Amino acid sequence: MLVIMSNNNPIGNFLHNYFDIDLLFSFDGLVVASCFYSLPFMMQPIQNAFEKVDNNLIEAAYVLQKSKLETISKNYYSLL
């Protein structure tokens, strides 16, 4: 992460030149690294939530010609 986000790397250089974002040794960099680090721990609960969605609801959405994005977003809000 340190090498990728430094200004000597193309990614870090792009963020610095176009968005004026310096992620190396800053609070913003800490937040980005924390999110990146926590991503694997978030995948299992997300997978479990999608597995709990009733297949009949998904098939009904397809019959009503809803897109996959509309189907996922509607089911996601119904789980909350």
C-beta of residue 33 within 8 angstroms of C-beta of residue 27:
no
For tokens 């089911």, the residue is 75
Average confidence (pLDDT) per 10 residues, the chain, 80 residues: 84 89 87 89 87 83 83 60
Angle of the 68-79 helix axis to the 55-63 helix axis, nearest 10: 140
Rounded CA-CA distance 54/13 in Å is 46
Sign of torsion over alpha carbons 27, 36, 12, 18: negative
pLDDT score of 78: 55
3-class DSSP state of 65: coil
